[in-house]
Structure 1
Amino acid sequence: MATTTKTESEKPAKAPSAKLVRNTLKEAKKLLAYHRDLLKPEDASAFEQSIGDVQKTLADRDLKQCQAGISRLEEEAARYFPKAASGFREWVEIIAVAAIVAFGFRTFFLQPFKIPTGSMQPTLYGIYPGETSYLEDDNPSPMVQLFEKIAFGKVFVDGGYRTKGDHIFVDRLTYHFRRPTRGEVIVFDAEGIPGIVQTGKFYIKRLAGIGPEEIQIKAPYLYANGKRVEDEPFLKIYSMKCPSCGTVGDFSPETHAQNQAICHHCGMTRYHGYINPMYYPHAQYLLTPDNVFQIPADHYFALGDNSRSSSDSRFWGSFEHTRLVGRAVFMYWPFNERWGPIR
């Protein structure tokens, strides 16, 4: 007696589980919510009706009938939401969202800056040249050059190199909740300050005075309201110490004007206190030890750590609180002895 065997296609479809139906409905609702604004009103209504039919069937616990509803949802999803170029579109959307998040983070939290000049040396370095000393060649091999460029920011030229300025993060959030304190390294908007030599929109200096108070320089010391400023950052600046090699230079008030800011041991900049800019042609304030500057209320007085080579408040005075951008908090590149929190 002949027998017949049912093929796979002839076998009755297995009813989906309630969990599968619920997950399918969840994804369908998400798909509709995500793309509703791109659909024709009648297509959106039809897809929404199909979702409702499956929900009703699930509520009636008719899981076999749910299979037909799920199949209809899949067909309509393929018709209303074509997958062509969907991968590319999703990547574009991810990149756009990431860019918006990064822009918001940069605007309200941490903003990267690059130090262009040497006014804050040796705390932070701008672009500066250096010499190389190699036994065989004037310049190192291409692989060594690539490594030192990535790690230390050195761009090699014949017989030497040029180091790019330090890259830092500036905290833009903190000063919305408190006022800055003396000694912090700050970034502010320099555009439009009377008397400033414009070399960039933003300046980075150390906060030396907070209005209303009187500021005075008696080399190498800073005075506020007649008292020497003894806060930790300033003790470092008075120290005559070279952070690169650790040596301490000689100092006497009589020779400070002639004292060199360059370390005689390693050739890098060392801390050398503050000077009165009596011989600087564009300087206007604190020209001599007897000069006093009265900082107006809600204004700040800023000085560079490299006092012999800094265009700062000695040249153009104080600036308003509203010009503050934020607090320099971290030097993230290049990777050298300065990498880390900024103090």
Structure 2
Amino acid sequence: MPPEDPASLPKPNLPKSELPAHSGSRSWWQSQRENVLTLLLALLLAFGIRTFVAEARWIPSDSMLPTLEEGDRLVVEKVSYRFSSPKRGDIIVFNPPAKLNFDGAYIKRVIGLPGDRMRIVDGKIFINGIPLQEDYIYAPPNYSCPGDRCPGVRVQGSDFVVPPDSYFVMGDNRNDSQDSHVWGFLPEENIIGNTIFRFWPPNRLHFFATQKYPELLSEAQVLRNPTPQDGGS
């Protein structure tokens, strides 16, 4: 008599309590594994991009008028400053000095670079003796630096020097901005990134190009090619 086909044998009718407890979870994981792994990968990529490449920020105040308005949404990139230093005119996001006890980030414009000799007087900023030409500010500063209304700079004389690895940053709305003239120089290690693009509101989309200061370039050319003095060679 030929053996019976196992497939034709009657299957035992086990109570539900005796079925393998892992059968349901295994089938769910097999069907959803690809979706779960895709979600985890997306989260890891999003975290990595936000931490090391770029992130979105929004403007909570009017300190950068007229360049940035309250509610603007920006893309801040974090890569370039790993290979080069901030440039004059960059709009940077940074953690404020610890003494301010502020839980959040600031956004200001880089004005003074390490080693710059500066002063602010009569509504003008002087960098190494040259008045800075700025067409992006809301109004000229109505204070002098050094001076009583510039507590961030406590030196004697008419000029001050930006320390190594530090920057003098200011809001474009000069007379309504908590910036370096109030709390002092910004350590380079506090900088988060450089503002490159405004993506909201849609009618004000804008890429932020590197700011040019021809008057300071002219000064650098003069330093490289000094004019011979009378009687000199």
Indicate whether the TM-score tops 0.5: yes
Gaps of 5+ in 1: 1-78, 127-164, 238-270
Query: Contact 2:153 / 2:184 at 8 angstroms: preserved in 1?
Result: no
TM-score, normalised relative to structure 1 = 0.49
**Aligned pair partner of 1:236 in 126, 129, 136:** 136
Task: Verify: 1:98 aligned to 2:14, yes or no.
Answer: no
RMSD: 2.7
Aligned-partner Cα distance in 1 for 2:140–2:189: 28
Q: Which amino acid aligns with 2:33?
A: R
Q: Secondary structure at the match of 1:204?
A: strand
Deviation at 1:175, TM superposition (A): 0.3
Is 1:176 paired with 2:82? yes
Say if 2:48 is the partner of 1:89.
no
1:206-253 superposed Cα distances (whole Å, 9 cap, x missing partner): 0000121222123432211111123xxx2333xxxxxxxxxxxxxxxx
CA contact (8 A) 2:136 2:172 kept: no
> 1:319 is matched with which residue?
186
Question: Residue 98 of structure 1: SS of its match in structure 2?
Answer: helix
Structure that is richer in helix per residue: 1
Q: Of residues 191, 196, 204 in structure 2, which corresponds to 1:329? A: 196
Q: Select which of 97, 102, 114 maps to 1:211.
A: 114
Deviation at 1:87, TM superposition (A): 3.2
* 8 Å Cα contact 1:170-1:326 kept in structure 2: yes
Higher relative contact order (CA 8 A, sep 6+): 2
* Aligned-pair CA distance for 1:189: 1.1
The reply to whether residue 186 of structure 1 matches residue 92 of structure 2 is yes
Query: TM-score, normalised on structure 2?
Result: 0.70
Matched-pair contact (CA < 8 Å) for 1:285–1:293: no
The answer on whether the counterparts of 2:97 and 2:186 sit within 8 Å (CA) in structure 1 is no
Query: CA contact under 8 A between 1:211 and 1:295: conserved in structure 2?
Result: yes
Find the structure with the greater CA-based Rg. 1
Q: Deviations over 1:163-210 (max 9, x none)?
A: xx2111111000000011101101111150x3x3x5542110000001
User: 2:55·2:77 contact (CA, 8 Å) conserved in 1?
Assistant: yes
- Structure 2 gaps, min length 5: 1-22, 210-233
Which residue is equivalent to 2:56? Answer: 112
In the alignment, the residues of structure 2 paired with residue 168 and residue 286 of structure 1 have an alpha-carbon distance, to the nearest angstrom, of 30
What does residue 176 of structure 2 align with?
309
Percent identity for Structure 1 against Structure 2: 31
- What whole-Å deviation, never above 9, does each CA across 1:244-283 have from its counterpart, x for those lacking one? xxxxxxxxxxxxxxxxxxxxxxxxxxx22333169x9974
How far did 1:291 drift? 4.2
Asked whether the 8 Å contact 1:286–1:292 carries over to 2, the reply is no
User: Shift of residue 112 of structure 1?
Assistant: 1.1
Q: Deviation per CA, 1:263-310, whole angstroms, max 9, x where unpaired?
A: xxxxxxxx22333169x99741479xx843321111100000001110
In structure 2, the partner of 1:131 is none
